[in-house]
Chains A and B, each alone.
Chain A
Amino acid sequence: MTPQTPKQVTFWERLQAIDRRILYVLLLAVIIFPLFVPIRLPMVTMPSTLKLYQAIESIPEGGFVIVSATWSGGTRAENMPQTEAILRHLMKRRLRVAVFSFDQQGSQFSYNIASRVAKDFGYEYGKDWVHWGFRPVVGVVMKSLVRDIPGTFATDRNGKPTKDMPVMRGIKDIKNVDAIVEIAASGIYMDWIGLVVGANPKLKFGFCPTAVMAPETYPYMDSGQIVGIMEGMRGAAEYEKLVNTIGLATKGMGSISLAHVLIMLLIIIGNIGYIVTRVRGS
């Protein structure tokens, strides 16, 4: 047997096979670098975010808004700034807020965030806001809250009766609710649209999904079933700008910008190598 000479790897082939550890280090570098050298570029507010903001602005003072935080630690980076931004806006506008969650972690999270934001705006628990706790099954709760909100959420997160809380004054069913904002990492918006939104034609339904889910919600914003969308961390950064605060989302835009550039460059490099190799091969 004649010994096989190893095939010479060309530069163009090498371009397609950069070691994964180099890629990981580059990614970490572009994420970390802007933390130390902040990159602040002007940001354009997308119409989807603006529509959500305007919908909240149009609610009269003292209006009642339900915030559902169906997310867990896995998507904290996107859903936490969204939750904080929307709660800041609602409390700044002196609207009554009821928070709850269809996720077990989301219940604890949203309670912690709402408690913190409530302190900033002088919101009193039970009078200005309430946390209804966790509900594990989506459809049955939605069907029930359309008809009877105090019955569906008879007790708050700590087991206290909600019936006599001032925040619930005049709230009987979905017709008394001005808006619902769902912050989620799942397709739960379909359940809200299917079971709740149509029951009150004046109800405004806003959705704050993770960025990966944003494209699939556009058909529903087009049809008016969703009034506005806060798309992932970018949407949260835009909303933070609208409510005049600097949060995690705004701080992250520099890192995320560079990471996008890195990924595009890597894809281009890989493709240059692929095209040149193919042309030479043929």
Chain B
Amino acid sequence: MEALWQDILSRPAIYAGAICTIGLMTLIYRENAVYRFFEHVFIGLAAGFSIVVLIKEILDPFLYQPVFKKGEWYWTFAFMFGLLFYFIHSRKYNWLSRLPIGFLMGFSAGQAFQGFANTYLPQLAKSFRPLYVTRTDGSFDVPQAVNNLIFMIVLVTVMSYFFFSFEQRSKVIRNSAQFGRWVMMVAFGAIFGTTIMARMALLFDRMFFLFSDWLRWVQ
């Protein structure tokens, strides 16, 4: 028993993590009181951490330091403007929170023009692929040419699937849209495959934590 206490005192974070992990994992059996307790603790810790981050990484460097260390008093206005966010909790003056929200939305919207130009124009340029491709020795590179052709066909057919501005009466457009739908399924299948990888990785991490970090049964 004493050895266990020694171990707990030497690795309190690991023990706390293990108890929390097991507590939350009980949900896979069914919804229960233990899970609900740990769920509340989790929300409390996450909310508390937000306050710590707000003070340490936002208010300190962007308000306290500039105002009280550098004398840049005008940042007080920005802080007071930010306080308007908290009117969101007032039934009567709720609309005041829309001023800073609108301000931040405006900031993002204003950046959209540059974002669009820099993101999509190079994409567009790279979509025009040559169908006659040569190797360094000058010979015709058949596999690359076929790949380029497939790439172009997929691109065009998927785009044709999204022609919603007019009724797709033409047989060519209809067939193209149908093919586009099929190749989209290839992309979605790829996303499904990688999603499985992502989720399994998360579960592995938990099991590794329990059996290696906590119990030390495996390395």
Residues of A bordering B, CB below 8 Å: 21, 24, 27-28, 31-32, 35-36, 74-78, 104-105, 107, 133-134, 136-137, 139-140, 143, 154-155, 157, 159, 190-191, 193-195, 197-198, 210-216, 219-220, 222-225, 231-234, 248, 251-252, 255-256, 259-260, 263
Contact = CB atoms under 8 A, between A and B. Distances in A.
B57 A27 contact: no
A86 to B, nearest CB: 17
Nearest to A105: B49
Contacts of A191: 115
A211 B195 contact: yes
A263 B195 CA distance: 12
A255 B204 contact: yes
Interface of B: 28-29, 49-50, 53, 57-58, 60-61, 65, 104, 107-108, 111, 114-116, 118-119, 122-123, 125-126, 187, 190-191, 194-208, 211-212, 217-218
Contacts of B122: 198, 223-225
A255 B206 CA distance: 12
A252 B204 contact: yes
A252 B204 CA distance: 7
Chain A contact residues, majority secondary structure = helix
Given A134-B57, A223-B123, A223-B126, A139 B107 contact: yes
A263 B196 contact: yes
Contact of A133 (B28, B57, B206): B57
A107 B207 contact: no
A107 B208 CA distance: 24
A226 B80 CA distance: 40
A219 B123 contact: yes
Which of B50, B104, B207 has the largest count of A CB atoms less than 10 A from its CB?
B207
B44 to A, nearest CB: 15
Contact of A155 (B65, B115, B199, B200): B65
Contact of A251 (B119, B197, B208): B208
Given A194-B116, A222-B126, A252-B201, A35 B207 contact: yes
B155 to A, nearest CB: 10
Contact of B201 (A77, A220, A222): A77
